[in-house]
Structure 1
Amino acid sequence: MEINNINDFQVAENFKRYVQIDTQSDAQSTTVPSTEKQKNLSRLLVEELLQLGITDAHLDDLGYVYATIPSNTDKKVPVICFCSHVDTSPDSSGTDVKPLVHANYQGQDLVLPDDENVVIRFSEHPDLKEQIGNDIITASGKTLLGADDKAGVAEIMDAARILMANPEIKHGDIKILFTPDEEIGRGVDHADLKKLGADYGYTMDGERAGTLEDETFSADGVKIKIDGVSIHPGYAENKMVSALKIAAEIVESLPKDRLSPETTSGKDGFVHPTNLSGTVEEASLGFIIRDHDTANLAKHEAELEEIVKTVLAKYPQAKFTFEVNEQYRNMKEVLDQHPRVVDIALMGIERAGMKAEKRSIRGGTDGSRLSFMGLPCPNIFAGGHAFHGKQEWVSVQDMQKAVLTILHIVALWEEVS
């Protein structure tokens, strides 16, 4: 079978069905998964995989879906995994998502009907220039869409359907992994790689069609706790030391023209406050520290700690703690040791009819962690754009290209083995 002749895609129908299931994760939760509602989509995915004839598909207690498309070749082929996450970002509502298809897009601004103030402007989304004549899916204006990463989930599911129905596409064992809680940095905390049994992996969690990301940020988190002195405000003169005001002063003391997401691009790192809470007596600050060069994380953290010490020096009665936690590391450090996993993906993208573009990402994916856990795992485009907000959009045709890319990748691994 000529893979590029396939035209009976169901990826758009999959996607529209999946995004209507609320799977928002919650960084403040201590449960696994962080929200029980993520399992509602995962249960549906297992049911659909079983209907395809994938007999070992199952959902574990921690919210992970595992499944195997069995090998149909006599060759000894490395076991390949495709992975996407079911959760959506806490940054924007994922409740009652209404997917809208804008057919035969012609370059117009897209005004979303449930909130006409939400406009996806052609001038502000340069990738829309490549979508003339395509079908664009958006939300309705009150929620995010969920293309991050239900586009990837829908693509893997459609590729699985096609592979199960077309045994003439030769391949080795293919593993499917759907994870919870990626958006809050816990996506593979409880993934059982021994049970998964894969040699190499690919996350379908990227953006523009044709792109592959083999380089991510390295990432740490910092928690700062400040202990102040509380006293009745009516009698506070020369006695009260407000932890909350100290925390605000620390944020105000951060560099204004560098080291922030607002003032950096490319491979520049940043120090970014993500939350501030507290009272007069006690306050806490959360930061994410990012850089493509892992060694720079310690430098950024030292600069942040020096800012904290400088501020606290004005308040000798206050105390602070400064805690650094590793989150993930730049996957390139691992992938450079396994060039074939990237090379085959680039070939698969080219065979699917696109110009392959290898690039770095100013973020991380489940693949960052998986690579360091022993599963080399670059990130392939899923077609979504403007993630985590109401202007999120995805092209039906780009999702179809992602399905073809998956099919070519599995065929290539069989071909070169």
Structure 2
Amino acid sequence: MFTNYKYSVTDRFLRYVQIDTQSDPLSASFPSTAKQKDLARLLVQELQAIGVTDAELDEHGYVYATIPANTDKTVPVICLCSHMDTSSDCSGTNVKPIIHRAYDGSDIVLPDDPSQVIRAAEHPYLLQKKGNDIITASGTTLLGADNKAGVAAIMDAARFLLQHPGIRHGAIRILFTPDEETGRGVEKLDMTKLGAQYGYTLDGGELGSLEDETFSADGVKITIQGVGIHPGTAKGKLVSAIKIAGEIVAALPTDRLSPETTEGREGFIHPVRIHGTVEQAEIDFIIRDFVTAELANHEQLLRGIMEKVLLRYPEASAIFAVNPQYRNMKEVLDQHPQVCAHAETAIRRAGVEPLRMIIRGGTDGSRLSFMGLPCPNIFTGEMALHSKHEYVSIQDMQKAVETIVHLVQVWEEEAR
């Protein structure tokens, strides 16, 4: 099917990563940064150019588009989704992508900052890609493979399907979202307008991976009220909210329940931001576990630490606020086994062995699943995310394109 096909996924990817779409977790606006719409507008133009006539960008930064059904069967409407923003953890300004043709298995020195070296010994998956064409950034920014590899794969698959009308499929909804990296990616999404019954995010890593399980996640904000006064006359009066915040963080477990001491399905309590003044300080935490009920236990432990520290400062007070973020999508996907089963079939048809994996994180699919759109995550090849060492295999992206095409065929074949 793809023997003589000239993939566009690489050219698209190289074009997309040079557009700065970094989101901002501290912004109250939506999307959190206006520049995310720069890519969104380009995607609408490119979709229209390949024949997707209803492609549109809404006020919130979502791109919606449809590839109409070309079968008489009643096929569920499938959504293909990727996010356009890149992480705030590393600069996304002036990304310079570099293709390393026929990667030879050696360390990759990034030219704009030779101290940045992607060491093969530290990236076992990269060693598996020996002989592939690898794309990296130049050493001063992230690459943006998370998730522009997914965006590019969906765009190329759409192009392929429109060029090959003999491939039967139901209606396909394309969705590109802003602000996935802030955890707000589907906050303003119009599910009625989307009109899909099942979905897939293209936001996974290793070739063949199919992720159907994520963390369940809460955010916690502790707001500490101290007593401010001029330091020259502060004896016996000043109570520093900053120092209290520091004591709370220092009292967290050091041998467990932290990202640096956990793996697999182990959860954690993780302080991600601390800011304030002597009079008032805030600590933001993310709480994660694969068992939703465990979140409450982790939060009770954190609350107990806060209360124990405050006992030493009777003039201070604190507010402990929990913000539910997303839940383990497996709770929904287990009720719709055909969604992952069809994806596994599609991956096999692309000539790859499927790998069921868990995500120590979340995707838009986590929230979409609980919004009525069961939505696992399919590979794109994006690796070493949110860092200057991010990379992606061109061949992995091409296999993601093939998987998408096979996937919509499987849904049509299984329909009655």
Residue matched to 2:231: 233
Residue matched to 2:86: 88
Residue matched to 1:279: 277
Question: Residue type of the partner of 1:154?
Answer: A
Residue matched to 1:48: 46
**Structure 1 position 397, deviation (Å):** 0.3
Residue matched to 1:203: 201
Name the CA distance, whole Å, in 2 between partners of 1:304 and 1:78. Answer: 44
Name the CA distance, whole Å, in 2 between partners of 1:318 and 1:195. Answer: 49
1:147 aligns with 2:138: no
**Structure 1 position 7, deviation (Å):** 3.3
Q: Secondary structure at the match of 2:343?
A: helix
Alignment deviations for residues 136-192 of structure 1 (CA, whole Å, 9 cap, x no partner) = 000000000000000000000000000011101110100000000000000000111
Q: Secondary structure at the match of 1:41?
A: helix
Alignment deviations for residues 369-401 of structure 1 (CA, whole Å, 9 cap, x no partner) = 000000000000111000001000000000000
Residue matched to 2:3: 5
Question: Residue type of the partner of 2:77?
Answer: V
1:14 aligns with 2:12: yes
Residue matched to 1:288: 286
What are the within-5 Å matches in structure 2 for residues 116-131 of structure 1? 116-131=114-129
Name the CA distance, whole Å, in 2 between partners of 1:229 and 1:29. Answer: 28
Residue matched to 1:313: 311
What are the within-5 Å matches in structure 2 for residues 7-406 of structure 1? 7-406=5-404
Question: Residue type of the partner of 2:198?
Answer: Y
Question: Residue type of the partner of 1:349?
Answer: I
State TM-score, norm by structure 1.
Answer: 0.99
Name the CA distance, whole Å, in 2 between partners of 1:252 and 1:349. Answer: 46
| Residues paired across the two proteins, number | 415
Runs of 5+ unmatched residues, structure 2: none
Alignment deviations for residues 178-223 of structure 1 (CA, whole Å, 9 cap, x no partner) = 0000000000001111111111000000110100000000000000
**Structure 1 position 238, deviation (Å):** 1.1
Alignment deviations for residues 285-344 of structure 1 (CA, whole Å, 9 cap, x no partner) = 000000000000000000000000000100000000000000000000000000000000
Q: Secondary structure at the match of 2:319?
A: strand
Residue matched to 1:414: 412
Alignment deviations for residues 17-54 of structure 1 (CA, whole Å, 9 cap, x no partner) = 00000000001111110000000000000000001111
**Structure 1 position 5, deviation (Å):** 2.8
Q: Secondary structure at the match of 1:385?
A: coil
Alignment deviations for residues 84-128 of structure 1 (CA, whole Å, 9 cap, x no partner) = 000000000000000000000010100000000100000000001
State TM-score, norm by structure 2.
Answer: 0.99
Name the CA distance, whole Å, in 1 between partners of 2:159 and 2:82. Answer: 16
Runs of 5+ unmatched residues, structure 1: none
Identity across aligned pairs (percent)? 64
Alignment deviations for residues 226-250 of structure 1 (CA, whole Å, 9 cap, x no partner) = 0000111111111110000100111
Name the CA distance, whole Å, in 2 between partners of 1:387 and 1:128. Answer: 13
Question: Residue type of the partner of 2:363?
Answer: T
**Structure 1 position 409, deviation (Å):** 0.2
**Structure 1 position 6, deviation (Å):** 5.1
Name the CA distance, whole Å, in 2 between partners of 1:163 and 1:248. Answer: 56
Question: Residue type of the partner of 2:398?
Answer: Q
Name the CA distance, whole Å, in 2 between partners of 1:130 and 1:161. Answer: 29
Name the CA distance, whole Å, in 1 between partners of 2:112 and 2:335. Answer: 49
Question: Residue type of the partner of 2:373?
Answer: L
CA RMSD of aligned residues (A): 0.6
Question: Residue type of the partner of 1:254?
Answer: L
